[in-house]
Structures are given as structure tokens and as C-alpha cells.
């Protein structure tokens, strides 16, 4: 039986879904076809509506139509950018696999090959992400951070036309569509932490379907542990995917006598203008990734109660 993969219509989404299709063909020996689905996020992106106006914290705007098609039996598998997935479970849907992650960092595409630090005071930097905007503002570079939506071509085109001096994008997306040569700087996570789950793909299917077990062969344990920790931070801080919260987790080889893997998590919660921020880190066993992320977020909430108030978790 051919496996039908639901995908958004954008070049990046179809490229990501095509990557999953190839993995299914190669590892599971199954035939696949892509089924294009239009989401609310795609419709409002075409209309230029800011993502934060579409749903609480912009959560799930690219996801619900794919899940609806999955539950209706129109497709068998849905492929998402994991950073778009809400942190709460969806009835009838199982996150069956998280493949090996692409580089999760953000990148700058700027005029004249400039880096973030080389941009002049007042330079216009485009991003649709409050997380990126707050962290760039926190650097104190005097840049004019302005909103932008659209696909990669649209955003980079605003730099080429001179409308913006630079735009900030996810490195993983540019890598997947073969456009890393346009990057002028990969941003250090010490300056700008990525969104929870950035660079990872989420492969969903119907709960109880035979594909749940089959798709597990595509899962990468280290990536899943890292992403589970990041999403636990986000869930505990009660932010959505567009909230000013950045976090990055990595599973590395431990240096103890047993040589086991170790999980490291860094996170930041900021006020929308970047003037207040709480940054913390933690480490632990990858097997308890969710607990590590949850505890880190609780400590951040306790530390940031005065500095951030409710904005730590609810900024849109």
C-alpha cells in the first residue's frame, strides 16, 4: 500500500516531506506519494498577516490542516517543522518519529556580505519572530528590527531590493533547499538561541496505526531527547512557538567513567523589547529529558518573576 504524506505547499515543506519520503522508501521499502494541503498559516502568510495575530502565541497555525487531513484519512503521515508543533498532545495523533536534526542555529542574510555586528546603527533587520527580535534587541546594536513574513525568496528578495539591510532565517531551512551560499553569518547561540525544536522534523501518524511502529525506524534517539527537553522548557514557560523564548539542547558523550551520553540544555526568556532576560542552563540524563527541561524552566520562572513577570511565558 502506498503511504500518503501530507505536506504544505511551500518549497521548503515539500523538500522536507520529500526527504522523509526518501527515508521511508529506503528504510521501510514502502511506496509513497506527497499530498499537498493548504494551512491557515499559508493563507495568512499570503495575506501578510503577522503570525502572532492568528492564534494564541501563533501556536499551531501551520499544523491543524495537516492533522485534520490525517484524522480524516486523507493522508497517512504528516510532516511538520517540529518548531511549529504545539507542545500539548493532539487526540488521535502520535509523534511517531523525529529524524536526525539539521543545524538548529539562526543565520543572517545581509547586504554586502555584512555580519550582524557590522550592520550600521539603524539598519533594518527583518524577522517575523518575537524570539529573534527580542534577542537581537538585547545585543544593544541599535538595529531597527521590523516584521516580515513570506517564503525564503520573498524575505531574501527584500534584502536584494534594498528594502531591508538583512533578514534572519533558520539555517536548517536554507540548508534543505540548497541556499546556504546566501548566508552572511551563522549566529552564535550565545547571542541568539534558536526556537525549541528548530531544525528538526516531526513525523506524525494516526494513533494505533501500524505505521506507528514502522516509522519508529526513522527516529533518532539523541535528537528526540534534545527536542523533548526544549519543548518541556517551552511548555513549562507556557509560551507558544512565537513567544520570546529560545532554547537549545544537545546530547553529547559524557566525560565520566561510564562514558554515557549527557544532555545539556540552555534557555532564555525575554521581555518583548529584550531589556529584561533570564538565561539559565542545566544538564542531566537524556533518558529524563522532559524532566530536565521542566526543572530548568521552573528555575527560570522563579528567577525571572520580578524581571519578566508574566511576559516570560505569554508574550506573542
Find out whether 33 and 4 touch, Cβ atoms under 8 Å. Answer: yes
Note the CATH architecture for domain 3-99+200-219.
Answer: 3-Layer(aba) Sandwich (3.40)
Lowest mean pLDDT, pick from 7-11, 57-61, 195-199: 57-61
Which residue blocks in 48-161 are alpha helix, DSSP H? 64-71, 130-138, 152-160
Rounded-to-integer distance, Cα 201 and Cα 17, Å: 9
Are 220 and 106 spatial neighbours (Cβ–Cβ below 8 Å)? no
Q: Grid coordinates in use for 70?
A: 490525517
C-beta of residue 105 within 8 angstroms of C-beta of residue 169: no
pLDDT at 304: 76
Kindly write down the DSSP assignment for every residue of 147-177, as one continuous string: ---S-HHHHHHHHHTTS-SEEEEEHHHHHHT
**What is the band of 308 on the pLDDT scale with cuts at 50, 70, 90?**
low
User: How many angstroms separate the Cα of 35 from the Cα of each of 13, 22, 48, 259?
Assistant: 11, 15, 25, 44
Q: Which cell goes with 61?
A: 497555525
Predicted pLDDT at 38: 83
pLDDT for 55 equals: 47
Q: Where are the domains of the chain?
A: 3-99+200-219, 106-186, 225-314
Average pLDDT over all residues of the chain: 89
* CATH code, 225-314: 3.30.160.40
- Tens of pLDDT, residues 48-95: 545 444 444 445 667 999 999 999 999 999 999 999 999 999 999 999
Contact (CB, 8 A) for 276 and 289: no
Percent of residues, the chain, with pLDDT higher than 70: 86
**Structure confidence at residue 61 (pLDDT):** 67
C-alpha dihedral (286, 292, 296, 301), degrees to nearest 10? 140
Q: Per residue in 123-150, pLDDT tens?
A: 999 999 999 999 999 999 999 999 998 8
Closest CA to 68 of 40, 48, 43: 40
Residue 62 has a pLDDT of: 79
Query: Looking up cell 555584512, which residue turns up?
Result: 114
d(CA 266, CA 173) in angstroms, rounded, equals 22
- What pLDDT is recorded for position 297? 94
Q: Catalytic amino acids?
A: 84
Cell of 127: 524577522
Fold matches, 3-99+200-219 and 225-314: no
Average pLDDT score over residue span 192-210: 97
Taking CB atoms within 8 Å and a gap of at least 24, the contacts of 18-27 are 19/176, 19/201, 20/77, 20/79, 20/99, 20/201, 20/203, 20/218, 23/99, 23/218, 24/77, 24/215, 24/218, 27/217, 27/218
Residue 259 pLDDT exceeds 90: no
Q: What is the pLDDT of residue 238?
A: 80
What pLDDT shows up at residue 255?
Answer: 74
Question: With 70 as the cut, is the pLDDT of residue 266 above it?
Answer: yes
CA dist., res. 122 & res. 119, Å (int): 8
Fold classification of 106-186 is D-Maltodextrin-Binding Protein; domain 2 (3.40.190)
pLDDT digits (tens, 9 = 90+) for 210-231: 999 999 999 999 999 999 999 9
Amino acid at each position: 500500500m502506498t503511504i500518503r504524506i501530507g505536506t504544505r505547499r511551500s518549497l521548503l515543506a515539500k523538500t522536507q516531506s520529500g526527504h522523509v519520503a526518501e527515508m521511508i522508501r529506503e528504510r521501510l521499502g514502502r511506496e509513497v506519494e506527497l499530498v499537498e494541503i493548504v494551512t491557515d498559516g499559508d493563507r495568512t502568510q499570503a495575506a501578510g498577516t503577522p503570525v502572532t495575530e492568528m492564534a494564541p502565541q501563533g501556536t499551531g497555525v501551520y499544523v491543524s490542516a495537516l492533522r485534520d487531513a490525517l484524522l480524516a484519512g486523507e493522508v497517512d503521515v504528516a510532516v511538520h517543522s517540529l518548531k511549529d508543533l504545539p507542545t500539548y498532545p493532539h487526540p488521535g495523533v502520535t509523534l511517531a518519529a523525529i529524524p536526525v536534526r539539521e543545524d538548529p542555529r539562526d543565520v543572517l542574510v545581509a547586504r554586502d556580505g555584512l555580519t550582524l555586528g557590522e550592520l550600521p546603527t539603524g539598519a533594518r533587520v527583518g524577522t517575523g519572530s518575537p524570539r529573534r527580535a527580542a534577542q537581537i534587541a538585547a545585543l544593544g546594536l541599535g538595529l531597527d528590527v521590523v516584521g516580515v513574513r513570506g517564503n525564503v525568496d520573498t524575505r531574501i528578495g527584500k534584502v536584494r531590493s534594498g528594502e531591508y539591510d538583512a533578514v534572519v532565517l533558520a539555517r536548517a531551512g536554507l540548508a534543505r533547499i540548497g541556499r546556504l551560499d546566501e548566508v552572511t553569518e551563522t549566529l552564535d547561540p550565545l547571542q541568539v538561541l534558536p526556537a525549541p525544536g528548530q531544525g528538526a522534523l516531526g513525523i506524525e501518524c494516526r494513533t494505533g496505526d501500524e505505521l506507528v511502529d514502522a516509522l519508529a525506524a526513522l527516529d533518532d534517539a539523541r535528537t528526540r531527547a534534545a527536542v523533548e527537553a526544549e519543548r518541556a522548557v517551552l511548555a513549562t514557560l507556557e509560551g507558544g512557538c512565537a513567544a520570546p523564548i529560545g532554547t537549545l539542547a544537545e546530547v553529547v558523550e559524557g566525560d565520566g567513567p561510564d562514558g554515557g551520553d549527557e544532555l545539556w540544555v540552555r534557555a532564555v526568556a525575554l521581555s518583548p523589547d529584550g531589556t529584561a532576560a533570564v538565561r539559565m542552563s542545566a544538564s542531566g540524563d537524556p533518558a529524563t529529558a522532559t524532566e530536565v527541561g521542566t526543572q530548568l524552566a521552573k528555575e527560570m520562572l522563579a528567577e525571572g518573576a520580578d524581571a519578566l513577570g508574566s511576559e516570560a511565558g505569554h508574550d506573542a
